[in-house]
Amino acid sequence: MSFLSATGMTGGYGGTDIIHDCTITVEKGEIAVVVGPNGAGKSTAMKAVFGMLNLRKGSVTLDGKDITNLAPQDRVPQGMGFVPQNRNVFVSLTVEENLEMGAFIRTDDKIEDTKEQIFSLFPILAEKRNQPAGELSGGQRQQVAVGRALMTQPKLLMLDEPTAGVSPIVMDELFDKIVEVAKTGVAILMVEQNARQALEIADHGFVLVQGRNRFTDTGEALLANEEVRRSFLGG
């Protein structure tokens, strides 16, 4: 069984289901990317993995443990870190305080070390550590958001469209950082609008259409797949 395995997820917000029998898996140290057209249920699938959606069917296991019925906040101590798409930093808190809040549930004394690791991963944050996060640029905010999530030392990091609204240069930079994070052994699950670039760094890709798995393969294979390219990557 995979490190994260969300299998057969079916559910939605109101009466109607948005995702149907959807399966997403990630291995340790790997990057998995969920792509698909608008309204395909990408973000919904991600939220379902994190427990922000009531599932009618299906199960979610992390490291072999069934977490299907845990509330989102209870999944954090289990080793899940989540970076929402919007409102993902505490705007009036400083960068450093944002990171400290990320480590709120930790009781060990290694918090400072993790913070230094994050500062070395995102040097710009070290520079702006005493500035309120609300004053940073979009790309820097995303770094704060990722940093905040990493402070819990998650075994699985989930990112909901981390590159939404940032420039292509910043996007490349962010993707580089994400690859670096993955190299430390963290499993990464990411929903992306910029499908091509995301699949380039992905070990596994999941193409969702109308809430169902359409293609599942390695990132490389998906990029090479003629149909995927034509339908979802713009040729």
Partner 1 sequence: MEILNALALFTNFVVVPATAYGAQLALGALGVTLIFGILRFANFAHGELMSFGTMITILVTWFLQNMGVSIAPFPTALLALPIGVLAAVSMALLMDRSVFRFYRKQRSNPIVFAIVSVGVMFLLAGIIRIVIGPADQSFADGERFIIGAFDSRRALGLDEGIAIKQSQVITVVVTAIVVAWLFWFLQKTRSGKAMRAYSDDEDLALLSGINPERVVMICWIIAAALATIAGTLYGLDKTYKPFIFLQILLPIFAATILGGIGQPIGAILGAFIVAFSEVVVTYAFKKFLAYLGPTDWAPDGLVQLLSTDYKFAVSFIILVAVLLIRPTGIIRGKVI
* Closest alpha carbon to 196 in 170, 175, 177, 166: 175
| Cβ closest to partner 1, residue 51 vs residue 139 | 51
Query: Which H or E element spans position 137?
Result: none
User: Is residue 102 near partner 1 by the rule CB under 8 A?
Assistant: yes
Residue 12 touching partner 1 (CB under 8 A): no
- Answer for which of 76, 125, 178, 228 binds partner 1 (CB under 8 A) is 76
* Smallest separation, CB 151 to partner 1 (Å): 8
Q: How far is the CB of 197 from partner 1 (least distance, A)?
A: 26
Q: Give yes or no for residue 153 binding partner 1 (CB under 8 A).
A: no
**Cα–Cα distance for residue pair 234/228, rounded to 1 Å:** 9
Residue with tokens 């990132």: 219
The rounded distance, in Å, linking the Cα atoms of 152 and 92 is 21
Decide if residue 90 touches partner 1 (CB under 8 A): yes
Containing 214, the helix (H) or strand (E) segment is strand 212-218
Coil, strand or helix at 16: coil
Among 92, 120, 137, 210, binds partner 1 (CB under 8 A): 92
Among 13, 57, 91, 180, binds partner 1 (CB under 8 A): 91
Residue with tokens 């359409």: 214
Residue 114's nearest CA partner among 75, 152, 166 is: 152
Which one of 74-82, 114-122, 210-218, 224-232 is the stretch in contact with partner 1 (CB under 8 A)? 74-82
Residues that bind partner 1 (CB under 8 A): 72-73, 76-77, 82, 84, 87-93, 97, 100-102, 104-105, 148, 152
